[in-house]
């Protein structure tokens, strides 16, 4: 058992004195036999891919891929043919698991438009039929605010009548509405910071604001599993980028020490700025950032901290205020607080929160602020309404109830899967639940078989994950009922021999012992 497995199973952190409660995460190592078989599976697929390319070259197999025209053969090619090899020979085999069109509100259940393919997933045709009441385990609808009825929807409709749908201008020109000002003041109050700024797109909140904060002569220390928007923003900034191992504080501290001791390459001048970039919840791993330790290192080495709370805001903490609230920390210890409204708030866009000087600077220097169209008024109203419900300012306990329900559903679903012996990644309190599949053939099989059982989920493989760590990702919501979670975990996964042979956790016996203690079960009673 690796050091990481041990510390995670014991719920301990290498620096547990900084934590007010146990910090429990699980990342079981890939079994050696499974890793070997997975590599063999990709190898076989690659061999068959080259063979099919040979058949396509000689017109033995019909070629559906884009290629240069004959009259353009002397031109510089638009793309290298090998770059498309993975897409046409591996991804295309299981393409039917993605981009499924839905025709309903993406709530706890969704309706899917049925489609078929007659050429092995190269193209699809709609049959005109609708698959009703598919349990939605793929949307980031953590608090269940993705709905077309209720207080939020009614307020958004009223705002549409008052303001219309679009603004047709940027914030700095004639697109700054009073509802935008109200939203930003509310977000600042919700986060516990001096000021905030809202943006119309979550991805652009990262990719367009990081270049405004750092540049040449600055150093960005980025977690190896950071989101693509953070990676793009760091690259666009022109800063030097160094990557530390995921949630590994020893790796981060080593980079900080080296940065201070050696300075910039060649000149050895001190870095103008050192920015640590982390996420609250990592959406592929289900892990939670070790924020108390990151803040301690940030203070010790005088660095700045950029925290992306896209998945954690609204989903963590007793008050739904994200990972800072979850650990009971002071928001002022985080220099740049970023988050999105696309998950827990059922809306669109993102925000940056922090000191007033920071926000005033971004209003003048952020490309997202200067060149992007203002947020749609009904979207802004959806955020305001849902945030006030979470804060309890609507005069009800609906927000508290949803936060509690999400926490209970997360604990219940994770426990059920572990009882059955599946390998689950991530933190015990994370509503993102990755179930490990490993082998490439299981990616497509899992997604298809779950849909046959009226369950919609997300399956993920290389290059979005390491090549031997393909997985299914469940997103738990407060809108899910206990019966829905039982349907997913018990009815469809209790008998895996029906459609797949899963890898079971080597720590099943150990986990069951812990479970029996927690549930105060009889020593002779077995956990099924």
- For the annotated catalytic residues, the residue numbers are 283, 311, 343
Distances (CA, A) of 81 to 77, 78, 85, 355, 467: 9, 9, 7, 49, 22
Q: How far apart are CA 398 and CA 389, in angstroms?
A: 7
Of 292, 279, 274, the closest CA to residue 225 belongs to: 279
Q: What is the DSSP string of 329-349?
A: --GGG-SEEEEESSSTTSS--
Burial (CB < 10 A; 0-12, 13-18, 19+), residue 116, is exposed
Strands (E), 200-293: 218-223, 240-244, 273-279
Q: How far apart are CA 316 and CA 318, in angstroms?
A: 7
CB proximity list for 453: less than 8 A, separation 6 or greater: 491, 492
Q: How far apart are CA 344 and CA 389, in angstroms?
A: 12
Please give the helix or strand (H or E) that residue 35 lies within, else none: helix 32-57
CB proximity list for 439: less than 8 A, separation 6 or greater: 34, 37, 38, 41, 470
Please give the helix or strand (H or E) that residue 379 lies within, else none: helix 377-391
Distances (CA, A) of 476 to 58, 107, 329, 501: 49, 11, 25, 24
DSSP 359: H
Q: How far apart are CA 17 and CA 130, in angstroms?
A: 54
Phi, psi angles (nearest 5°) of residue 116:
-135, 160
Q: How far apart are CA 328 and CA 336, in angstroms?
A: 17
Region of 392 (left: φ > 0; alpha: ψ -120 to 50; beta: rest) is left
**Partners of 134 in the β-ladder:** 110
Spell out a b/e string for 231-258, using b for 16 or more CB atoms within 10 Å of the CB, else e: bbbbeebebbbebbebbebebbbebbee
Q: How far apart are CA 209 and CA 222, in angstroms?
A: 15
Q: How far apart are CA 173 and CA 18, in angstroms?
A: 46
Structure tokens at 146: 């993705």
């Amino acid at each position: 058992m690796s050091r990481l497995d041990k510390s995670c199973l014991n719920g301990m952190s290498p620096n547990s004195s900084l934590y007010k409660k146990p910090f429990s995460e699980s990342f079981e190592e890939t079994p050696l036999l499974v890793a070997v078989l997975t590599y063999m599976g990709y190898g076989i697929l690659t061999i068959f891919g080259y063979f099919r390319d040979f058949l396509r070259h000689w017109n033995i197999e019909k070629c559906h891929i884009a290629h240069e025209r004959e009259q353009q053969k002397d031109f510089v090619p638009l793309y290298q043919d090998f770059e498309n090899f993975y897409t046409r020979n591996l991804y295309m085999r299981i393409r039917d698991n993605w981009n499924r069109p839905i025709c309903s509100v993406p709530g706890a259940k969704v309706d899917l438009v049925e489609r078929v393919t007659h050429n092995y997933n190269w193209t699809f045709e709609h049959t005109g039929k609708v698959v009703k009441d598919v349990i939605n385990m793929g949307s980031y609808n953590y608090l269940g605010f993705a709905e077309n009825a209720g207080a939020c929807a009614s307020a958004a409709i009223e705002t549409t009548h008052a303001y219309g749908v679009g603004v047709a201008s940027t914030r700095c020109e004639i697109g700054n509405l009073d509802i935008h000002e109200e939203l930003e003041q509310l977000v600042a109050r919700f986060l516990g910071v001096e000021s905030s700024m809202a943006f119309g797109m979550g991805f652009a909140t990262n990719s367009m604001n990081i270049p405004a904060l750092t540049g040449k002569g600055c150093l960005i220390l980025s977690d190896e599993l950071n989101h693509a928007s953070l990676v793009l923003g760091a690259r666009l900034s022109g800063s030097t980028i160094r990557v530390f191992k995921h949630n590994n504080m020893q790796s981060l501290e080593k980079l900080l020490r080296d940065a201070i001791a050696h300075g910039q390459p060649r000149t050895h001048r001190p870095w103008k700025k050192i920015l640590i970039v982390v996420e609250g919840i990592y959406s592929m791993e289900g892990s939670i950032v070790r924020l108390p330790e990151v803040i301690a290192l940030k203070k010790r080495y005088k660095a700045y901290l950029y925290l992306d709370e896209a998945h954690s805001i609204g989903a963590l903490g007793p008050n739904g205020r994200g990972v800072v609230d979850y650990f009971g920390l002071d928001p002022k210890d985080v220099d740049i607080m970023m988050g999105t409204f696309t998950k827990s708030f059922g809306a669109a866009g993102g925000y940056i929160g922090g000191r007033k000087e920071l926000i005033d600077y971004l209003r003048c220097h952020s490309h997202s602020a200067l060149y992007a169209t203002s947020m749609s008024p009904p979207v802004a109203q959806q955020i305001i309404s849902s945030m006030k419900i979470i804060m309890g300012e609507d005069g009800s306990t609906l927000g508290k109830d949803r936060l509690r329900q999400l926490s209970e559903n997360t604990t219940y679903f994770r426990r059920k899967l572990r009882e059955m012996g599946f390998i689950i990644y991530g933190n015990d309190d994370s509503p993102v639940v990755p179930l490990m599949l490993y082998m490439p053939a299981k990616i497509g099989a899992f997604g298809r078989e779950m849909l046959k059982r009226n369950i919609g989920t997300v399956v993920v493989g290389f290059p979005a994950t390491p090549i031997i760590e393909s997985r299914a990702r469940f997103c738990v919501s407060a809108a899910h009922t206990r019966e829905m979670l039982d349907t997913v975990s018990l009815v469809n996964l209790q008998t895996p021999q029906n459609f797949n042979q899963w890898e079971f956790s080597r720590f099943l016996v150990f986990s069951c012992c812990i479970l029996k203690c927690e549930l105060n079960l009889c020593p002779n009673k077995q956990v099924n």
